[in-house]
Amino acid sequence: MKHAGPVTGSTAQNAVGEGRFTLARLAVATIATLMMLWPIAWMVSTSFKRPEAVFELPPRWIPEAPSLAGYEVALSAAVLRYFLNSVIVASATALLATGAGALCAYGLSRLRFRGNRAVMLALLGSLGLPIPLLMVTLYLLFFRVGILDSYLALILGHTVITLPVVVWLLKDFFDALPREFEEAAFIDGASPAQVIRLVILPLVRPGLAAAAIFVFVTSWNEFIFGMTFISSDTYRPIPAAMGLLFLNEFQYRWGDTMAVATVVTLPIMLLFVLFQRYFVSGITAGAVKG
């Protein structure tokens, strides 16, 4: 574009051509986006249909007589209990994994010692450990300790699968922060607790947010631990509950199923809208470095 002169014959003509290209690209991009998003639209559409309307052919994208019957089920006390369970587990996991991970990442970033890199690689490698193997052995461990069918079992399980990512994410973050402030604070006699609270925390907040969101979303999404560690409705998180409902009570109740599915997805979409940049930095952080 910047090359004026002999190369391009007529800039005006080029601009017209470019403009036409741009329109075509916008059209293709719109079609591609619709191709990606139609299942979500179909889910929302179905969630507003009356039970009979669900089976109508040809299917209607806009329900003729929209109904909230599905949402009455999705927001009934029984289903809300599963949501509450997921909120409790995901929040507690976000606190635990982000807290423990941040401390560890800070240590790894500030202390140079032999094996520092090996620890990081071991953490990365542990992400490849088969989750089904962990499922079996953690089940056994929790069974022996007597914490199966409790929030704690899920919180610990979800912490294990997210902690390594948190450490990687935040180590990058701490590495990018200048050390001089901390050193000066330490030399002036500040206690470690003061240094963390007054010097580090204010700077690292965006990183902590990205990590906590990643953990929350992973926990909210996790299915098989919720399926195996939990046996009672009292503690069952929403993904496992939804799988079971879908295969049992909800058979053929597509409107209800889609309403619950929509409500499961909503909190995550809301988080995304509020914290979009953290999401993207969360997913690219570990990978681009590799």
Partner 1 sequence: MNGVLTRHPLFVVALFAPAAILVGVLTFYPFINGVLLSFTNYSPLYKDTSFIGFDNYAYLLEDPAFWDVVKNTLIMIVSSVVIATVLGFALALLLDRIPVGRRTFRALIFQGWIVPWVTVAVLWGWIFNADYGIINWTLRNLGLIDGILGWTTDPVRAQIVIVSGFVWRIIPFMMVMALAGLQGVPDELLDSARVDGAGPLQRLRHIILPLCANVMLVAALLQAVRLFQEITLPWVVTQGGPINATTTLSLYTYKAAFQQWDFGLASTVGILWTIALVVIASVYLKFLLRRHD
Site for partner 1 in 90-109 (CB under 8 A): 96, 99-101, 103-104, 106-107
| Residue 65 vs 289, nearer CB to partner 1 | 289
What spatial distance separates the first Cα and last Cα of the chain, rounded to whole Å?
34
- The three-state secondary structure class of 111 is coil
Answer whether 179's CB lies under 8 Å from 116's CB: no
Min. distance of Cβ 117 from partner 1 in angstroms?
A: 15
Sites for partner 1 among residues 102-161 (CB under 8 A): 103-104, 106-107, 110-113, 123, 126-141, 143, 156-157, 159-160
Q: C-alpha dihedral over 69, 71, 73, 76, to 10 degrees?
A: -130
Sites for partner 1 among residues 49-88 (CB under 8 A): 54-55, 57-59
DSSP H stretches of helix in 48-150: 69-74, 77-110, 116-126, 131-145
Min. distance of Cβ 128 from partner 1 in angstroms?
A: 5
Instruction: Return the residue of 91, 116, 150, 265 that touches partner 1, per CB under 8 A.
Output: 265
* Cα–Cα distance measured from residue 183 to residue 247, given in angstroms and rounded to the nearest whole number: 58
What mask, x for binding partner 1 by CB under 8 A, covers residues 232 to 251? ------xx--xx--xx----
Min. distance of Cβ 91 from partner 1 in angstroms?
A: 16
**CA quadruple 141, 217, 224, 133: dihedral sign:** negative
Contact region with partner 1 (CB under 8 A), list: 9-17, 74-82, 181-189, 204-212: 181-189
- Is residue 279 close enough to count as binding partner 1 by CB under 8 A? yes
| Residue 71 vs 139, nearer CB to partner 1 | 139
| Residue 130 vs 202, nearer CB to partner 1 | 130
- Is residue 173 close enough to count as binding partner 1 by CB under 8 A? no
Burial of 290 (0-12, 13-18, 19+ CB in 10 A): exposed
Q: C-alpha dihedral over 182, 183, 185, 190, to 10 degrees?
A: 100
| Residue 65 vs 133, nearer CB to partner 1 | 133
* Cα–Cα distance measured from residue 187 to residue 207, given in angstroms and rounded to the nearest whole number: 26
